[in-house]
Amino acid sequence: MYGSFCHFCPNFCWLLFWQRYCTDKLFGAHICEDTLFDEDWKGLDAERRYYFECLHAPQAKQVEVALDKLSLLGARCYAPAHGPVVRYSLSRFTYDYRQWCQGQKSQELSVALLYASAYGNTAILANAIAQGLIQNGVNVESINCELADSAEITRIVETCDGLIIGSPTLGGHAPTQIQTALGIVLSVAAKTKLAGVFGSYGWSGEAIDLIETKLKDANYQLGFETIRVRFSPTPEILQQCQEAGAYFAQNLKKTKKLRTSRQVVTETHVDRTEQAVGRIIGSLCVVTTRDEETHKGVLTSWVSQATFNPPGIMIAIAQEQNAELMHHPGDQFVLNILKEGRNVRRYFSRHSTLGDNPFASLATQTALNGCLILDEALAYLECTVQNQIECGNRWLIYAVIDQGKVLENDGITAMEHRKSGSYY
């Protein structure tokens, strides 16, 4: 009785799949008894749950995929590497695994834990950090970058609330898979996400310093002190990693609560347009305009509410930002207010030029004024220019709001954080 397959399975073609995603520890329990089968399966509930939380909770999505594959095999029992053979409680244990996976994924906050591990040490650190996060009510999506493709990493990075990257150092560098993952993080992850860095090394540990420097230069805030471990981690180091995960979870909750308290306003008895106006709090926006049949879009955060009656906004734009389409009385545009955690900004630049088509990869709809609404926006406002004045290197545009709508009631406005007021 060895390995990661069931002796009663008629089909062994899923062996590699199982080894990749779940190993021989699926349906296990860290106990050693003389009993071969799980006759007293009810008495094993606590051990099974503890084993799941220690090993499988960070890979809840992969575990669900494995369960779906296994359901096609018609197995009558499972022989894990740890614990008794699962024979009498196979259906119950499968049900429990699905429930535990769903419970883990339903947590309010989620952290992407990205790592690669040359000799297993970085993976051990990752698991210890994951335990600290899980024990503090945070969902963890643990991804071994050596086994994940770019699309999967991108999906997780875009949807998570925080991200932690771990790497070994090989020949003075991070593995190629980690460099790819870091590039994805820097290009698609909102700068408001909390970040963390850890890793193991044999000599100098340049990969850890590289990741930390890149994240700090991109203005990410670190949720714990970077963890650097030489050779194999000791029990004391693993305890520190678990505490770092707990500290990260606490900081993540504080950051989320602070942003929410600053941006969420009471919306009782206000119409849809006023709700949309209320989202303008130094927000990151995309302004869409139209030049006959050509649609244009430019990224900006220089927007503020200017008047209450009629509701109006003021926006500052440069000449190269298609100012000629917005600074004449009667010109119309749509202000798309972006949502935090959804990185639409990568499709737009500060300087939009003719011939660019950033809308090719985005779902849109046409507003009543003929400009485009981004479906992934938090809210939008349809505006008409009333007055303009040239000030320094910007045009100040005053526009009244014709109508607007909040597209996602539970979302939070995306904010731009800059290191200096003299440049973007």
pLDDT single digits (tens) 256-271: 776 655 444 444 444 5
Share of the chain above pLDDT 90, in %: 40
pLDDT of 277 reads 62
Count other C-beta atoms under 10 Å from residue 34's C-beta.
5
> What does the alpha-carbon distance between residue 186 and residue 333 come to, in Å, rounded to a whole number?
30
Whether pTM > 0.85 for this model: the answer is: no
Give the least confident one: 12-16, 66-70, 100-104, 361-365.
Answer: 12-16
pLDDT of 274 > 90? The answer is no
CA dihedral (334, 338, 344, 347) positive or negative: positive
Q: In what order do the strands lie in the sheet with 285-291?
A: 294-300, 285-291, 332-337, 379-391, 394-406, 312-317, 303-307
Mean pLDDT of 377-394: 91
Mean pLDDT, the chain, as a whole number?
A: 81
pLDDT of 26 > 80? The answer is no
Model confidence at 418, in pLDDT bands (50, 70, 90)? low
What phi, psi does 306 have (nearest 5°)? -110, -35
pLDDT of 23 > 70? The answer is no
Helices (H) and strands (E) in the chain, counts: 10, 15
Assigned token pair, 357: 């088509």
**What CATH topology corresponds to 272-406?**
Pnp Oxidase; Chain A (2.30.110)
pLDDT of 42 reads 77
pLDDT single digits (tens) 133-149: 988 989 898 889 998 99
pLDDT of 17 > 50? The answer is no
108-263 homologous superfamily: Flavodoxin domain (3.40.50.360)
pLDDT of 420 > 80? The answer is no
What phi, psi does 230 have (nearest 5°)? -95, 125
Pick the more confident residue, 73 or 215.
215
- The highest-level CATH class for domain 1-106 is alpha beta
pLDDT single digits (tens) 71-91: 788 788 888 877 888 887 788
Helix (H) or strand (E) holding 401: strand 394-406
Give the least confident one: 12-21, 69-78, 286-295.
Answer: 12-21
pLDDT of 271 reads 58
Q: Given the structure tokens 């009782």, which residue do they identify?
A: 268
pLDDT of 327 > 90? The answer is no
pLDDT of 104 reads 67
Is the bond preceding residue 84 a cis peptide, omega within 30 degrees? no
pLDDT of 95 reads 75
**Per-domain residue ranges for the chain?**
1-106, 108-263, 272-406
From 220, 216, 225, 280, select the one nearest 255 (Cα to Cα).
220
pLDDT of 79 reads 83
pLDDT of 383 > 80? The answer is yes
Q: Given the structure tokens 């210890």, which residue do they identify?
A: 128
Pick the more confident residue, 53 or 215.
215
pLDDT of 315 reads 92
From 405, 213, 403, 416, select the one nearest 301 (Cα to Cα).
416
Give the least confident one: 96-105, 183-192, 270-279.
Answer: 270-279
